[in-house]
């Protein structure tokens, strides 16, 4: 049989939208969900209960889009909600995925293997350049990955890093990986304006800088 229109026959898959803070990840996720209104596809949108910024049960983007979401504590809870949804859904979307436990990767694979389209948005790196493992595991198995950039709030270059401001570190979470916050606590930075902690393993004793 000729392999024509093979893409059209594809059913479940995983799409990831990642990048630093202030890059428009939530905006891009909600844009993709919004497009579904032109199709017959139904969706469910999930956010982690840990994300207290949007007041729970809502996913918000910086451009003012706001969608109702189901706030769940554990990744595995997503499966229960999909099963008991009043309508059969085709798309499962997850925002702020970095806050979920590592089981989320298995959940995404299970959904995609059962023909769901899985859209995942979240931070790939924490403030010190460490991977958010839940996200990097999903990036490994995703069919499509979009890595968005922000603008460095120091020099204006493209930014892939998120800087946790010193003032916020003192007041709140110190160097814990999870510390909810917004513009009062974080900035988007390029690699060269981003500050690494003293303990960061990318710091080697000495290296002559390359000529620019
Ligand atoms: P994001 O949705 O990534 O931030 P955003 O809304 O600026 O990005 P976008 O426009 O691309 O959607 O939310 C990041 C959350 O994660 C925020 O509450 C701060 C928190 N956070 C940590 O807990 N640890 C970290 O190391 C970093 C960088 C952020
Ligand atoms: Mg966001």
Q: Of 163, 160, 133, give the one whose Cα is nearest residue 149.
A: 160
DSSP 11: -
β-bridge pairing 43-48 and 91-94 = parallel
Q: What is the mean pLDDT of each run of 10 residues along the chain (212 residues)?
A: 62 97 97 92 95 75 85 97 92 97 98 97 97 98 98 98 92 84 96 93 88 90
CATH annotation of 13-149: 3.40.50.300
* 150-151/144-147 β-pairing: unpaired
For ligand 2, the distance from its centroid to the CA atom of residue 112, given in whole angstroms, is 23
- pTM for the full predicted model: 0.93
Query: Which residues are bridge partners to 163 per DSSP?
Result: 187
119, 186, 195, best to mutate for ligand 1 pocket (most atoms within 8 Å of CB):
186
Tell me 101's DSSP state.
-
Q: Are strands 66-68 and 70-72 parallel, antiparallel or unpaired?
A: unpaired
Q: Which of 15, 27, 96, 163 is catalytic?
A: 96
For ligand 2, the distance from its centroid to the CA atom of residue 143, given in whole angstroms, is 21
Specify the pLDDT at position 127: 97
Give me the residue spans of the domains in the chain. 13-149
């Amino acid at each position: 049989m000729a392999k024509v229109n093979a893409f059209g026959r594809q059913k479940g898959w995983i799409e990831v939208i990642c990048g630093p803070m202030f890059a428009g990840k939530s905006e891009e996720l909600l844009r993709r969900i919004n497009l579904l209104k032109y199709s017959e596809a139904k969706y469910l949108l999930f956010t982690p209960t840990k994300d207290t910024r949007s007041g729970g049960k809502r996913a918000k983007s910086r451009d003012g889009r706001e969608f109702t979401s189901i706030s769940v504590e554990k990744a595995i809870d997503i499966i229960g909600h999909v099963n008991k949804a009043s309508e059969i859904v085709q798309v499962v979307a997850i925002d702020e995925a970095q806050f979920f436990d590592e089981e989320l990767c298995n959940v995404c694979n299970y959904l995609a293997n059962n023909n769901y389209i899985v859209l995942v948005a979240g931070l790939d790196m924490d403030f010190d350049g460490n991977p958010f493992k839940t996200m990097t595991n999903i990036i490994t198995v995703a069919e499509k990955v979009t890595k968005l950039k922000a603008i460095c709030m120091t020099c204006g270059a493209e930014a892939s890093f998120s800087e946790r401001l010193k003032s916020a570190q003192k007041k709140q979470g110190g160097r814990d990986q999870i510390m909810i916050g917004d513009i009062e606590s974080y900035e988007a930075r390029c690699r060269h304006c981003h500050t690494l902690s003293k303990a960061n393993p990318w710091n080697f004793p000495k290296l002559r800088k390359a000529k620019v």
